[in-house]
A and B are shown apart, each in its own frame.
Chain A
Amino acid sequence: MPDSISAIPPAFLYLLGALLMPFLRGWLRQTVALAIPLVALGNYFLIEKGVHWQFQLLDFQLILGRADGWSLIFLNIFTILSFCGILYILKDNKALDLAAGLLYAGSAMGVIMAGDLITLFLFWEMLTLGAVMCLIARRTERSGAAAYRYVLMHILGGVILLAGLMIHISSGGSTEFTQIELTGVGPWLMFIGFGINCAWPVVGAWLTDTYPEASFGGVIFMATYTTKTAVYVLARTFPGEEILIWVGVIMATLPLLYAVIENDLRRVLAYGLINQVGIMVIGVGLGTALSLNGTAAHAYCHILYKALLFMALGSIIYRTGKSKATELGGLWRSMPVTCAFCCIGALAMATPLLCGFVSKSMIMSTAAKKGEFIVWAAILFATAGAFYQVGLKVVFRAFFSRKVDHNVQEAPANQLIAMAFVAILCIVVGSFPHSYLYTMLPNPEASYNPYTLSHVTDQIALLLFAGLAFALLIRAGLYPAEVRATNLDFDYVYRKSGKLIYRIFDFSLNHINRIGKTLFVGGIAGGAAKIFDSAPTRLYLAIMQPVWKSQGLTVEQIDDKREDTYREARRGAFPIGITAFLAVILLALLALFTGILNAKS
């Protein structure tokens, strides 16, 4: 029973919006797309602290709204960013892009408002669908392939999480979404499942592999929702796990090396994203009231400035179609306003009066207080390195660096307004932390003041000398030249090993197959195989036929469509969106049935 009558689950609002997008046209679609985040913002202020929107499913209590300090600060920034993101992509008025953004935002909000692990899992899987739609929205062959790889990695993550969840629940664990002890197979699998979305070392290679392939606006949603939702979930389930400190240290430092030699500027930002998420993960691992505040605050601030940077690069792609350092430069001439916003985004990483300054330092202070010198030094390195490597490099390579003129127009007005909005927030959050950001932190008892004289001057000195290093290395010709290249990362494992895995399976399975055939030739096996073979197709048709009917298609047209679907399924040529959609449905059904079986046993 909802105890707060006026507010509704924010996820539902966004999902409704996403479903409406294909059926609306023209200005009506734009109005609805923009109205959803605005209504959600009003809705946000109506949500009171407490537990709302509970449902009973079999023996399980599903909680769609647990509103407390943790969830509300994330809901706040997720809602604000969804507005800015939708505004940013509004001009082109493409149903797929708008629906992707709304679906993505809605699923992320579903996860953070979830009060139980089953609700969490369902929305967690929907996040993947949102990301896949953002990828295919680029509408190129490369982005389609990237979407496919994204699905593979996240289905793997989802299955690991699901397995962990089922083991955890069936061995007597509660479905409550709260702190879990990291012992036993179930919690460990869940831990790793969360870690895949959090872009941990090795298993997080999907992030830098796929983000640069997304549509110019879709990447804003990707950069905002998936990793930060994972950070949120880790902070609630596994705070204070020491292993997270070291996972975070690796994330915060090593990707910067890749950022130095990477040519695609959106991939540089993606490496910077992992680096900053690493700092948040360190905060979770340290597990004190102050460091967890730091994690929440830094997620908030990082979402802002990273979105601003991705928006600036998105506008460059929108105007020039390019995102590589070797193809860009000199854009300050034709896109001066975008350039200014990009500079604010870069400075907002760590400069006093801007947002990054007031959040990261809470985690650093905790590390120092706890005597974790290496962690403290690593965060300082990550701060200087990210500003130098991500901020300065992106601004310099995109807008300055060479005397080329792309002769393009400034970014469209809607993009500039969206960027202005985010830039203002970066300044407000950074300049008045005590009256805005700090009032929302999950642990109000841990107070912190970033604006001491020496903290400000020390930080400025750090950044100025990072800038000095950049200037001197560039002038001396020691800074590595931007070259067109692919830099191997752990995505190699799933991108290149395909052939090897195929051969292994081909060899082993075919042998098993032959043995099986001799033992077990008969109709039953064949029939069962056929059913499972075409199960996804049948499921898809069962859902789509009523939709086609409602669109007013004739019986012949529906038959044609059904034939097409079977033919495509046989060829394995299902569009990625449908495959992802089906995979998510199948996983959800699997979860549901296992839940039922467990409940009965």
Chain B
Amino acid sequence: MSDQNVEPSTEGWFDKENNIRKVLRVLFVACAVFLVVDIVYWATGYDKHPYLKWETWPGFYAVYGFVACVVLTLAAKYILRPLVKRSEDFYTKGGDDA
């Protein structure tokens, strides 16, 4: 089976900081492109057939996606975790678990 957590003998593509930067750069560019596309819709008055007026605001989906994820993460980290975190053997120690 496995030799666990051994440092890899050879450096792979994803191990190089340079390549990770490249991936991130592609992500940034893609984000920018789709933000621009949405602004173009708004500027040209392109009919999105929206159900709700928010959908026509430029960058609504981008901002919503970003903010939703940041809020989700920070709420889980700073609110939920302090409330519910227990030791890993919480249910097995003491022997009163089914």
Contacts and interface: CB of A to CB of B under 8 A. Distances in A.
Given A403-B15, A462-B62, A487 B6 contact: no
A488 B86 contact: yes
Contacts of A320: 1-2, 4
Most A CB contacts (10 A, CB to CB) among B2, B37, B83 go to B2
Interface in A481-506: 483-489, 494-496, 498-499
Given A405-B9, A407-B2, A457-B37, A469 B76 contact: no
Interface of A: 145, 148-149, 152, 256-258, 260-261, 319-322, 327, 330, 332-333, 365, 368-369, 373, 376, 380-381, 384-385, 388-389, 400, 403-408, 452, 454, 457-471, 473, 475, 478-480, 483-489, 494-496, 498-499
A261 B59 CA distance: 29
A452 B41 CA distance: 13
Given A376-B52, A406-B2, A484-B88, A478 B73 contact: yes
Contacts of A408: 1-2
A178 to B, nearest CB: 32
Contacts of A149: 98
A385 to B, nearest CB: 5
A485 B88 CA distance: 4
Contact of B80 (A258, A319, A381, A385): A258
12 contacts: A320-B1, A368-B51, A403-B7, A452-B48, A462-B61, A462-B64, A464-B62, A479-B77, A486-B86, A486-B87, A494-B98, A498-B96
- Interface SS, B side: helix
A405 B9 CA distance: 8
A317 to B, nearest CB: 11
A385 B69 contact: yes
A306 to B, nearest CB: 20
A335 to B, nearest CB: 11
A205 B75 CA distance: 21
A368 B24 CA distance: 34
B72 interface: yes
Closest 3 CB pairs of A and B: A368-B51, A260-B76, A469-B69
B38 A457 contact: yes
Contacts of B34: 457, 460-461, 464
Contact of A480 (B12, B70, B81): B81
Contacts of A333: 8, 12
B86 A487 contact: yes
Contact of B84 (A319, A330, A478, A488): A488
Given A452-B49, A468-B28, A486 B6 contact: no
B51 A465 contact: no
Contacts of B2: 319-321, 406-408
B26 to A, nearest CB: 10
Given A454-B49, A464-B65, 14 more contacts: A260-B73, A261-B77, A332-B12, A332-B14, A404-B5, A404-B7, A406-B6, A454-B46, A462-B62, A465-B61, A465-B65, A469-B66, A470-B69, A484-B88
A408 B4 CA distance: 9
B24 to A, nearest CB: 6
A486 B88 contact: yes
B75 A458 contact: no
B27 A467 contact: yes
A487 B88 CA distance: 8
Interface string B20-42: 00001001101100110110010
A471 B24 contact: yes
A473 B75 CA distance: 13
A393 to B, nearest CB: 10
Interface in B43-98: 46, 48-49, 51-52, 55, 59-66, 68-70, 72-77, 80-81, 83-91, 96-98
B5 A258 contact: no
